[in-house]
Amino acid sequence: MGRIDGGPFTCCCCRYQIVVIDDSARLDSHLLGSAWRRIAMKAGGLVCSSFQSLSSCTRSAAHRSISGKSSLLRSFGGSDFSRKIQFSVFGISKYQIRRIGATAASSMAASFSPEQARVPPAVSLPSPPINKFKIGLCQLSVTDDKGRNIKHARKAIEDAASQGAKLVLLPEIWNSPYSNDSFPVYAEDIDAGGDASPSTAMLSEVSRLLKITIVGGSIPERCGDRLYNTCCVFGADGKLKAKHRKIHLFDIDIPGKITFKESKTLTAGESPTVVDTDVGRIGIGICYDIRFQELAMLYAARGAHLICYPGAFNMTTGPLHWELLQRARATDNQLYVATCSPARDAGAGYVAWGHSTLVGPFGEILATTDHDEAIIISEIDYSNIELRRTNLPLEKQRRGDLYQLVDVQRSSGETH
Any catalytic annotation for residue 308? no
Residues 6+ apart with CB under 8 A from 123: 301, 302, 303, 416
Catalytic residue, candidates 48, 231, 287, 308: 287
Residue 119 φ then ψ, to 5°: -125, 120
Q: Under DSSP, is residue 398 helix (H, G, I), strand (E, B) or coil?
A: coil
Catalytic residue, candidates 138, 146, 172, 340: 172
Any catalytic annotation for residue 57? no
Give the model's pLDDT for residue 69: 33
Whether residue 302 is contained in a domain is answered as yes
Q: For residue 288, what is the domain's CATH number?
A: 3.60.110.10
Number of structural domains in the chain: 1
Give the model's pLDDT for residue 413: 76
pLDDT digits (tens, 9 = 90+) for 390-400: 999 999 899 88
Q: Under DSSP, is residue 69 helix (H, G, I), strand (E, B) or coil?
A: coil
Q: What is the mean pLDDT of each run of 10 residues along the chain (416 residues)?
A: 34 39 44 48 42 46 39 32 31 42 55 76 95 99 98 99 99 98 98 97 99 99 98 99 98 93 97 98 99 98 98 97 99 98 97 99 99 99 97 91 91 71
Residues 6+ apart with CB under 8 A from 171: 138, 139, 140, 142, 217, 218, 310, 311, 312, 340, 341, 342, 352, 356
Partners of 308 in beta bridges: 284, 338
Catalytic residue, candidates 246, 262, 308, 340: 246
281 CA to centre of own chain: 13
Whether residue 66 is contained in a domain is answered as no
Give the model's pLDDT for residue 168: 99
- First-to-last C-alpha distance (Å) of the chain: 31
In which region does residue 78 sit, left (phi positive, over 0), alpha (psi from -120 to 50) or beta (all else)?
A: left
216 is in which domain, residue-wise? 133-412
Any catalytic annotation for residue 221? no
Whether residue 188 is contained in a domain is answered as yes
Cα–Cα distance list, 162 to 157, 167, 170, 247, 379 (Å): 9, 12, 16, 33, 15
Give the model's pLDDT for residue 104: 57
What sign for the dihedral angle of Cα 144, 150, 151, 152? positive
CB 125 within 8 A of CB 98: no
Amino acid at 333: N
**Predicted structure pTM score:** 0.77
Whether residue 50 is contained in a domain is answered as no
For 16, which DSSP code?
E
Cα angle at 301 between 214 and 279, to 5 degrees?
A: 25
